[in-house]
Amino acid sequence: MTDPLDERSPYLVEGIRLFRAGEYFLAHETLEEHWAEAPASERPFLQGLIQLATGFHHLTRGGTVGARLQFTKARDRLSGYPDRYEGVDVAGVRSFLADALVRLEAGDPIAPPELE
């Protein structure tokens, strides 16, 4: 059974909504507000999502080096979490990040993942 995202923190729900809308900087800011109040066990998870959003913010500005750095950090932060955490498909995000890093190396375009 999956965790419904809409039953989670309003900051997490709003951060993911903004990410889905392509508002990566605002997603980062919103998730960071949640991170500041989160328990220590949840902070790396939130940092991973923040770094995912920051990576896409870099990409929208043509910053592939910054995107690669943020995607690598996000992958590392999310590595210790279960496949589904706080209603988020963490396994899907990790798979996306692995593919995105390969695509960045090859200079191929990257579409954002469907966060759920």
d(CA 16, CA 52): 11
Kindly give the pairing relationship between strand 84-85 and strand 88-89. antiparallel
Is the domain 7-106 a CATH 2.60.120.280 member? Answer: no
d(CA 50, CA 56): 10
d(CA 116, CA 96): 13
Q: What is the pLDDT of residues 37-53, one digit of tens each?
A: 899 999 999 999 999 99
Break the chain into its structural domains and give their ranges: 7-106
CA-wise closest residue to 31 among 57, 13, 4, 56: 13
**pLDDT in the model for residue 35:** 92
Query: Token pair of 60, please?
Result: 């929208």
pLDDT at residue 1 above 80?
no
Query: Token pair of 11, please?
Result: 């900051």
